[in-house]
Amino acid sequence: MMQKRNIKRRKTEEIFVVNLLKLSGLVSIGTTIGIIFILGSQSIPFFGTVSLKEFFTGLNWTPLFVPQEFGVMPLINGTFMVAIIAALVALIFGLGSAFFLSEYASRKVRSYVKPLLEILAGIPTVVYGYFALTFVTPIIQYIAPETIIFNALSAGIVMGIMIIPMVSTLSEDAMSAVPRSLREAAYSLGAKKYQVALRIVFPSAISGIVASFILSISRAIGETMIVSLAAGGKPALTLNPLEAIQTITAYIVTVSQGETPQGSIEYQSIFAVGLLLFVLTLIMNLIGRWVVYKYAQEFE
C-alpha cells in the first residue's frame, strides 16, 4: 500500500517536472515570436504614415528635423559601408591567422594563441568605440588631415579587429575539414607548404571562408556602440569613408538617448528600421549557415 502510493507520487512528480522543463524551453520560442510580433506591430502604424515607396526610394533621412523625411537609403548606405570595411579587415587578418593556425602552427602554439585571439571577441564593444574615437581616428587624421572626427573608416577598421577571431575560427574549421589525403597527394608531387595552403587548402575550404565573410558582415551590420561613438550621427549618401555617416543601429541609439514619447513617429521609426535590421541579419545568417552546411557535406 505504502509502496503503491510512493510510485504514484513519483509519477506525478515526473509529469509535473517534464511539463515545467518544456515550458522553459518554450521561452526561447516565445522570444522569437515576440521579436517578430513587436517589430511588426510597432512598424505597421509607421508604414501607415510613410509609404513603403517613400521609405525605400527616398534619399533623405531626417526624422528629427522639419521637414521630416523618411528615405532609409542613407542609413542602409552607412550601415553597409562600415560593415564592408569591417568585413574586409576581418577577412584579411582572420584568413591569414587561419592559414597560420591550421597549416603552420604546432599544436602547442595553437593552444596558446587561440585563447589570446578570443580575448579580442570578449572585449565590450563600448571599449572598441572608445578606442576608435580616441586612438584610430587621430591616426587617420594625421595621414589624411581633412578627415573629420566622426568617420566611417575608423569605426569600420576597429569593428574589423573585433571580428577577426570569428573569421579566423570559422575559416580554420573549414580548413581543418579538408582531408589530409589531399595535402599528402600535393606534397608527394613536390609541392611546398605555401603551395598546398593556397592551391589545395584554400580552394577546398572556399565555401567555409565565404560563409565566414557573410556571417561577419551580418555581425557588423548589427554592431551598435562602435558606430555610435566613432562614425557620427549624420545620415549621408556617400561612398567616401572619411565622411560622417549614420548606421541603422546608430539612428536607433540617437532616438533612444532622449526620452522619445511612446507612439510618436520617431518612436515608431526605430521599430521600422529595427525590423529592416532584423530581416537583413536574418537573411545573411541563413545564407551563411546554408553555405557552411553545404561544405560540411562536400567531404563526406
Residue 298, H or E segment: helix 265-298
Nearer to other proteins, 53 or 160 (CB): 160
> What totals of helices (H) and strands (E) does the chain contain, helices first?
14, 0
Closest distance of CB 38 from other proteins, Å = 5
Q: Which is nearer to other proteins, 53 or 106 (CB)?
A: 106
- Neighbour tally for 233: CB within 10 Å: 17
Query: What backbone phi and psi angles, to 5 degrees, belong to 72?
Result: -80, -10
249-268 residues in contact with other proteins (CB under 8 A) are 249, 252-253, 256-259, 262
Contact flag: residue 3 with other proteins (CB under 8 A): no
Q: Which is nearer to other proteins, 152 or 161 (CB)?
A: 161
Task: Catalogue the long-range contacts made by 189-196 (C-beta closer than 8 Å, 24 or more residues apart).
Answer: 193/103, 193/104, 196/103
Strands (E), 93-231: none
Of the residues 1, 3, 24, 107, which one makes contact with other proteins according to CB under 8 A: 24
Site membership for other proteins, residue 225 (CB under 8 A): yes
Residue 218 sits in the site that holds other proteins (CB under 8 A): yes
CA 150 to chain centroid: 21
x/- mask, other proteins, residues 141-170, rule CB under 8 A, reads --------------------x--x---x--
Find the binding residues for other proteins in span 78-137 (CB under 8 A).
92-97, 99-101, 103-104, 113, 116-117, 119-120, 122-131, 133-135
Cis before residue 145, ω within 30 degrees of 0?
no
Q: What CA–CA distance (Å, rounded) separates 295 from 300?
A: 9
Closer Cβ to other proteins, 109 or 144, answer by number: 109
Segment interacting with other proteins, rule: CB under 8 A, options 46-54, 75-83, 171-179, 221-229: 221-229
